[in-house]
Amino acid sequence: MNKSIKASQGGFTLIELIVVIVILGILAATALPKFASLSGEARLASLNAAKGALTATSAMVHGKYLVSPSAKIKVEGTEVTMDTTTGYPAVTDASAQTIATAAGLSTGDYTVLTAGNGTTAPALTAGSGKFAVVPNSIVGTATAAKCFVLFSAGTKDLPPPVVTTGTSVAAVADCE
């Protein structure tokens, strides 16, 4: 009779369940650091894409300006105010968001920071001809001081705008 009861029982013993849970815990502890750094890598890749979009938009607007000089150039349905001495976008607190919008950077993904909107990270000074683009997920954090795209307007002697990431070159560690 005992033999037929044991034959009909199935399942796992408590020891087997504990061993499986321990193995899953070890695997999770091993994989977790890799997944944690993926957010920094994704943020850095997003910044590099934003940098490329701003650079390309600036070049496209400049090309349109050379063909037909005007105080405003329309790109992607957005009118960009031009600096007529350089032929590139004019950078002011008011025009920064327009340039970012023309580059396809949505307010749902990025925040445009200027000296005029009270930003402290990254540090921007009024009238410097610069603005920063920061992913919305890190706005207001210490990470925003290192993980951003900086758009600096060109000058008469060096007209093309300079677009950089971070304080020099952002790294994955800066964006985590």
Mean pLDDT of 74-88: 90
**Which DSSP helix (H) or strand (E) runs through 15?**
helix 14-67
Q: Is the pLDDT of residue 131 over 60?
A: yes
| pLDDT tens string 83-128 | 988 999 999 888 999 999 999 998 899 999 888 776 656 777 777 8
Closest CA to 101 of 131, 70, 75: 75
- The per-residue pLDDT for range 36-46, each reduced to its tens digit, is 667 778 888 88
76 or 74, which is more confident? Answer: 74
| Helix or strand holding residue 78 (H, E) | strand 78-83
Please give the pLDDT value at position 146. 85
With a pLDDT cut of 90, the percent of the chain lying above it is 32
CA distances from 47 to 23, 34, 76, 98 (A): 37, 20, 21, 18
Give the separation between CA 138 and CA 133, rounded to whole angstroms. Answer: 11
Quote the mean pLDDT of the chain.
84
Higher pLDDT, 40 or 51: 51
Q: Is the pLDDT of residue 9 over 80?
A: no
Q: Is 138 exposed, middle or buried (0-12, 13-18, 19+ CB in 10 A)?
A: buried
pLDDT at residue 18, rounded to an integer: 93
The residues facing 165 across adjacent strands are 149
Residue-wise pLDDT for 147-174, tens only, equals: 889 999 888 888 889 888 875 555 666 7
Rg (CA), the chain: 26
Q: Is 123 in contact with 59 (CB distance < 8 Å)?
A: no
> For the chain, what are the domain ranges?
38-175
CB–CB of 40/173 below 8 Å? Answer: yes
